[in-house]
């Protein structure tokens, strides 16, 4: 632990720290461009020069190890002069186009030029100009502004795992580009926009849209997948203009996927902004809330509880699901289900349906089995975490399912259930790999669980976890000290390597609050079948958009949601709800972490927050729900299901409850290989399906691959 | 100035393969590096590809080398664009690399350049219309003592001035390469008027007396 003095402050930093980290620890601000604490050190911008006593010249603090006894000055005359000199060099070729630059107002170069630059330039020669590069539908380039920090190159190579970006030529001619100017084919590509310290890489869909100081910034969580990435939603008036990542070390670090970032233009299209009622001619017609409610009430009157059913969608907040569940129970219906994709996960034992290891916990693993999942598309940031682990330490990864480019090396074990059965029975070599590992883990995806034999797959995964020691409690081993010295105690913290990877943001909450069939109730498959045959006469779709959209002639369907997508097409009454950016609500991510989403804008037109709609409807149906405010509702939810009480925590779930749960001992279907449920990363839900940006990405990244696969 | 120009698609061959001769050399080159460090061989491999392919490297060769060394293609392209010695577009059969760095400039590289312009009409980065000559200005070629230097393909011509450059180019045009080295006929890097130092030590035969006994045992100098 070296001890050093920075600007007169003495600090002690962990061995291996850089001088820059030591300066930060001492509270000194050092300017920088190329240094980024999640990327490798490049040391090529020279902005971080500081004075170190006895060193012959200023040193680049980001690339210099902190040593014992160093005396560092970050604000001495020499350091200042060095920093100002570097800034002057950087500005030699940087255009003075801040007024038309989208980075303006949130530009590191702008800020640091104010703090560490001269007031005017001494350079009168021509500046260089660089041709812009094509980088796809998301990243706009103005390469003359580039200062060659190579953050973008390091991000794409190290974090995204797509080595197509680089710096060509050298010196004054250096240019950042992608190989043959192909768009960067990564789900995380747009993070380079945040990383670029200048305006060289900016957001294409957001080009010339707004200045940062015009925006209202709301900190909330993402619902495009079940990761629960922390985001900031920037809105002007009621229009969401952009989505940016927010730091959460345990979930998304400081990255977000391109869908999280860019699906937001889908919030403006295909929106339901008023209630609709299907007329006698079979067409949906605009109606008032009263008319819509009255129509529902008159249709419900004759229907018994058993003939009613409700399905909750993939992006619904927990409160609305709880309200709907309560309403259905009050109406006497056990037919509720939140598992649109038909996954065979069961409510009850939490350890059996969450990502027990936690996302940050992946970094502890030393062996990983992926079953029927494409984490790159199902949860891009979980995949980034796996890659991070793989980059930093030895980890053996095996895949059962599709053979895909996951950005890390793995052993391809097999395509389907047979391989999985072999691993479970110990016939497969990978069983031993898992057994030998200190912290083995398994990820099973919805592609494997939503099949007809999903329960058998789940049981097999459970068996593998049991047999290979994937779950253990904290243990202490004492090594007696020699010659009467204190014994050394090593504590191995508890570990649960069994993980279910969800794709739907609402799913874990739905299972937590029991939005599943009650006693004798029907599940999604049975509900839909009964709706067609007439067994179910009243069907409530709470933003359920992934179901088959055929009309149900003998069933009265109410759709409540925010987009005129698949669900609304089948409905007799459409109630306009709010999207995730327009309402407050709780979401539980795949780890079982409860997070609070905060509305950033108002729902369009007459649309309302979903719980309010349900509360109003319950009143009309004569089963008034006992809460008048969201706080009351949340209190009732917490009381009924205490897991929702703790925000942003991951509590370890009771494994034995899952083991004791009776799962089928049926066989898996060998003939069908596992496949990921996601066919197109960019379009998975009503919002991203309505987004023009996501459509452009599909065109650029997915369609060519499909064509190639077809030919 | 601009970055290195990459040949248009119309000029790029469909595929590239190392010749048997190059393959033999690759085996020797790769043997120098441990397997996990084989990317170190990227520079000699680029050079081989260039020598085999009319003095320029097609993109197909970049792909071949990347695959061969387990590197990303962009990493290979970075190296190929970084060094002036690699050509990424076709060059003339006479490839002129003229040094214009300070020592050469002090010794008259401007005159050399003027001669090239007058005889071939070439500026930096240009190729003659008949395609036979390409000119590239380069930094110090490491032979400053005989400045100015013009490198023609792999050979150095030294001590050039306007007239000697013109006559050099005239013979190149005829397809003749004059003998390499100083055009003023000086030996090695010796002063052009003959030896100026250590003269007093020489005997009549030009060999210092004290050296004669040692020469056999120590070996000559270079
Ligand atoms: S484009 Fe931006 S991030 Fe990339 S090297 Fe240039 S300045 Fe750095
Ligand atoms: S931040 Fe240290 S050299 Fe760039
Ligand atoms: S400057 Fe021309 S060879 Fe050195």
pLDDT tens-place string over residues A578-617: 999 999 999 999 999 999 999 999 999 999 999 999 999 9
Of A534 and A430, the structure prediction assigns the larger pLDDT to A430
- Cα A582-A583-A585 angle, rounded to 5 deg: 145
Nearest-CA distance from B24 to chain A in Å? 30
Nearest-CA distance from B90 to chain A in Å? 18
| Pocket, ligand 2, Cβ cutoff 6 A | A 32-35, 43-48, 60, 62-63
Are B3 and A179 within 8 A, CB to CB? no
Q: Which residues pair with A201 in a beta bridge?
A: A141
pLDDT of the residue at B199: 67
pLDDT of the residue at B204: 60
Is the pLDDT confidence value at A551 over 80?
no
Are B2 and A173 within 8 A, CB to CB? yes
pLDDT of the residue at B212: 58
Q: Which ligand is nearest to the CA of B108?
A: 3
Q: Which residues 6+ apart lie within 8 Å of A269 measured at CB?
A: A690, A691, A692
pLDDT of the residue at B200: 64
Nearest-CA distance from A129 to chain B in Å? 9
pLDDT of the residue at B203: 61
**Nearest chain A residue (CA) to B72:** A163
Q: Which residues pair with A330 in a beta bridge?
A: none
Of B215 and A545, the structure prediction assigns the larger pLDDT to A545
Q: Which ligand is nearest to the CA of B158?
A: 3
Residue B60, both tokens: 């197909």
Is the pLDDT confidence value at A486 over 90?
no
Closest partner residue to A179 among B1, B3, B74, by Cβ?
B74
Where in chain B are the domains? Answer: 9-82, 94-182
Mean per-residue pLDDT for A520-547? 93
**Chains A–B, number of C-beta pairs less than 8 Å apart:** 39
How far is residue A280's CA from residue A272's CA, in Å, rounded to a whole number? 21
Is the CB of A415 inside a 6 Å radius of any atom of ligand 1? no
The mean pLDDT value of chain A amounts to 95
At A368-423, the pLDDT tens digits run 999 999 999 999 999 999 999 999 999 999 999 999 999 999 999 999 999 999 99
Backbone torsions φ then ψ of A404, nearest 5 degrees? -130, 160
Q: Which atom of ligand 3 is nearest to the CA of B148?
A: 2
Whether the CA torsion A198, A200, A205, A209 is positive or negative: it is positive
Q: What is the ipTM of this complex?
A: 0.88
How far is residue A66's CA from residue A10's CA, in Å, rounded to a whole number? 13
Confidence of residue A142 (pLDDT cuts 50, 70, 90): very high
How far is residue A41's CA from residue A64's CA, in Å, rounded to a whole number? 10
Is the CB of A195 inside a 6 Å radius of any atom of ligand 1? yes
Of A61, A66, A106, A68, the closest CA to residue A86 belongs to A61
Contacts of A167 in chain B (CB under 8 A): 78
Is the pLDDT confidence value at A532 over 60?
yes
pLDDT of the residue at B215: 47
Closest partner residue to A170 among B2, B72, B82, by Cβ?
B82
| Domains B9-82 and B94-182 agree in fold | no
Is the CB of B44 inside a 6 Å radius of any atom of ligand 3? no
How far from A38 is each of A1, A64, A195, A375, A463, CA to CA, in Å? 22, 17, 11, 21, 37
The mean pLDDT values, 10 residues at a time, for chain B of 222 residues are 83 96 97 96 97 96 97 96 95 96 96 97 94 95 94 95 96 94 86 72 62 50 42
Mean per-residue pLDDT for A471-478? 89
Is the pLDDT confidence value at A239 over 90?
yes
Mean per-residue pLDDT for A302-315? 95
Of A56, A57, A50, the closest CA to residue A72 belongs to A50
Of A11-15, A486-490, A602-606, least confident by mean pLDDT is A486-490
Q: Which residues 6+ apart lie within 8 Å of A702 measured at CB?
A: A680, A681, A682
Cis before B148 (ω within 30): yes
At A657-685, the pLDDT tens digits run 999 998 888 899 999 999 999 999 999 99
Is the pLDDT confidence value at A524 over 90?
yes
Of A5-9, A170-174, A361-365, A420-424, least confident by mean pLDDT is A170-174
A382 secondary structure, DSSP code:
H
How far from A320 is each of A296, A310, A588, A652, CA to CA, in Å? 18, 12, 13, 26
Backbone torsions φ then ψ of A235, nearest 5 degrees? -130, 150
Question: Which ranges of A468-602 does DSSP label H, i.e. alpha helix?
Answer: 507-512, 524-533, 566-569
Is the CB of A146 inside a 6 Å radius of any atom of ligand 1? yes
How far is residue A590's CA from residue A430's CA, in Å, rounded to a whole number? 26
How far is residue A309's CA from residue A525's CA, in Å, rounded to a whole number? 12
Is the pLDDT confidence value at A351 over 80?
yes
Give the whole-number percent of chain A exceeding pLDDT 90: 90
Give the whole-number percent of chain A exceeding pLDDT 70: 100
How far is residue B30's CA from residue B144's CA, in Å, rounded to a whole number? 34
pTM score above 0.80: yes
Of A87-91, A354-358, A363-367, A487-491, least confident by mean pLDDT is A487-491
How far from A539 is each of A300, A406, A612, CA to CA, in Å? 10, 40, 19
Are A173 and B72 within 8 A, CB to CB? no
pLDDT of the residue at B3: 75
How far away, in angstroms, is A445 Cα from ligand 3 center? 64
Q: Which CATH class is domain B9-82?
A: mainly alpha
Q: Which residues pair with A12 in a beta bridge?
A: A3
**Nearest chain A residue (CA) to B86:** A169
Of B192 and A498, the structure prediction assigns the larger pLDDT to A498
Mean per-residue pLDDT for A265-290? 94
Do A395 and A368 form a contact (C-beta atoms < 8 A)? yes
How far is residue A398's CA from residue A435's CA, in Å, rounded to a whole number? 13
How far is residue A116's CA from residue B53's CA, in Å, rounded to a whole number? 50
pLDDT of the residue at B209: 61
pLDDT of the residue at A549: 62
Is the pLDDT confidence value at A625 over 80?
yes
CATH among 1.10.3720.10, 3.90.950.10, 3.40.190.80, 3.40.30.10 for B94-182: 3.40.30.10
Backbone torsions φ then ψ of A245, nearest 5 degrees? -75, 155
């Amino acid at each position: 632990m070296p001890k050093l003095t920075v600007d007169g402050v003495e600090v002690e930093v962990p061995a291996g720290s850089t001088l820059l980290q030591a300066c930060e620890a001492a509270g000194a601000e050092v300017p920088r461009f190329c240094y980024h604490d999640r990327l490798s050190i490049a040391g090529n911008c020279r902005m971080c020069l500081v004075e170190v006593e006895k060193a012959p010249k200023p040193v680049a603090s980001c690339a210099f190890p902190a040593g014992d006894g160093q005396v560092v000055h970050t604000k001495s005359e020499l350091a200042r002069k060095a920093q100002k000199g570097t800034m002057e060099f950087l500005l030699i070729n940087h255009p003075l186009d801040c007024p038309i630059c989208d980075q303006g107002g949130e530009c590191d170069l702008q800020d640091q030029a104010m703090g560490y630059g001269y007031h005017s330039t001494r350079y009168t020669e021509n500046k260089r100009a660089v041709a812009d590069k094509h980088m796809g539908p998301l990243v706009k380039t103005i390469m003359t502004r580039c200062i060659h920090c190579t953050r973008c190159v390091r991000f794409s190579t190290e974090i995204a795992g797509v080595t197509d970006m680089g710096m060509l030529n050298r010196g004054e001619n250096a240019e950042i580009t992608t190989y043959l100017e192909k768009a960067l084919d990564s789900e995380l590509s747009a993070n380079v926009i945040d990383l670029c310290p200048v305006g060289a890489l900016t957001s294409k869909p957001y080009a010339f849209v707004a200045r940062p100081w015009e925006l209202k910034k709301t900190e909330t969580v993402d619902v495009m997948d079940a990761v629960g990435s922390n985001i900031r939603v920037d809105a002007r008036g009621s229009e969401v203009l952009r989505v940016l990542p927010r730091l959460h070390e345990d979930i998304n670090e400081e990255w977000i996927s391109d869908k999280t970032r860019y699906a937001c233009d889908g919030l403006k299209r295909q929106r339901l902004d008023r209630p609709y009622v299907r007329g006698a001619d079979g067409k949906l017609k605009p109606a008032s809330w009263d008319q819509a409610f009255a129509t529902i009430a008159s249709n419900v009157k004759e229907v018994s509880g058993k003939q009613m059913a409700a399905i909750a969608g993939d992006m619904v907040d927990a409160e609305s699901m709880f309200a709907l569940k309560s309403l259905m129970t009050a109406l006497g219906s056990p037919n509720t289900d939140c598992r649109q994709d038909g996954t065979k996960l069961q409510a009850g034992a939490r350890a059996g349906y969450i990502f027990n290891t936690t996302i940050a916990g992946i970094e502890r693993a030393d062996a990983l089995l992926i079953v029927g999942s494409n984490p790159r598309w199902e949860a891009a940031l979980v995949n980034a975490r796996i890659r991070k682990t793989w980059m930093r330490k030895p980890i053996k990864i095996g895949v059962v399912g599709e053979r895909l480019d996951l950005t890390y090396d793995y052993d391809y074990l097999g395509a389907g259930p047979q391989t999985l059965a072999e691993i479970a029975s110990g016939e497969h070599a990978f069983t031993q790999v898992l057994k030998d590992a200190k912290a083995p883990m398994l990820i099973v995806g919805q592609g494997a669980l939503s099949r007809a034999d999903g329960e058998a797959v789940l049981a097999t995964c459970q068996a593998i976890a049991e047999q290979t020691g994937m779950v253990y409690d904290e243990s202490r081993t004492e090594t007696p000290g020699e010659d009467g010295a204190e014994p050394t105690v090593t504590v191995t913290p508890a570990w649960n390597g069994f993980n279910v990877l969800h794709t739907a943001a609402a799913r874990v909450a739905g299972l937590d609050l029991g939005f599943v069939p009650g006693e004798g109730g029907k599940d999604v498959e049975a509900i839909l079948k009964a709706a067609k045959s007439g067994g179910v006469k009243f069907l409530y779709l709470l933003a359920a958009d992934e179901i088959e959209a055929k009309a149900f002639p003998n069933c009265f369907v109410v759709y409540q949601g925010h987009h005129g997508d698949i669900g609304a097409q089948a409905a007799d009454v459409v109630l306009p709800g709010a999207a995730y950016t327009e309402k407050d609500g709780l979401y539980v991510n795949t780890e079982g972490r409860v997070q609070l989403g905060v509305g950033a804008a108002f729902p369009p037109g007459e649309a309302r927050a979903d719980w309010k709609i349900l509360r109003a409807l319950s009143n009309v149906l004569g089963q008034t729900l006992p809460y008048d405010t969201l706080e009351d509702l949340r209190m009732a939810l917490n009381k009924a299901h205490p897991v929702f009480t703790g925000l942003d925590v991951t509590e370890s779930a009771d494994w034995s409850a899952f083991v004791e749960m009776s799962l089928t001992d049926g066989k898996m279907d060998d003939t069908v290989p596992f496949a990921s449920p996601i066919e197109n990363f960019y379009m998975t839900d009503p919002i991203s399906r309505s987004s023009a940006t996501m459509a452009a990405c599909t065109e650029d990244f997915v369609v060519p691959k499909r064509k190639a696969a077809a030919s | 100035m601009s970055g290195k120009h990459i040949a248009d698609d119309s000029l790029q061959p469909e595929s590239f393969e190392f010749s048997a001769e190059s393959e033999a050399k690759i085996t020797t080159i790769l043997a120098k590096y441990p397997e996990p460090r084989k990317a170190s061989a990227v520079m000699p491999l680029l050079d081989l590809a260039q020598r085999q392919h009319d003095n320029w490297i097609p993109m197909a060769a970049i792909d071949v080398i990347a695959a061969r060394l387990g590197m990303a293609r962009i990493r290979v392209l970075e190296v190929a664009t970084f060094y002036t010695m690699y050509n990424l577009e076709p060059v003339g059969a006479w490839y002129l690399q003229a040094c214009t760095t300070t020592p050469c400039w002090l010794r008259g590289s401007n005159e050399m350049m003027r001669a090239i312009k007058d005889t071939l009409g070439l500026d930096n980065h240009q190729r003659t219309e008949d395609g036979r000559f390409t000119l590239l200005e380069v930094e110090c070629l490491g032979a400053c003592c005989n400045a100015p230097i013009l490198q023609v393909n792999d050979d150095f011509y030294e001590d050039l001035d306007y007239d000697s450059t013109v006559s050099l180019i005239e013979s190149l045009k005829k397809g003749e390469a004059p003998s390499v080295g100083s055009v003023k006929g000086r030996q090695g890097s010796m002063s052009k008027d003959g030896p100026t130092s250590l003269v007093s030590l020489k005997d009549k035969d030009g060999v210092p007396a004290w050296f004669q006994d040692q020469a056999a045992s120590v070996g000559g100098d270079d």
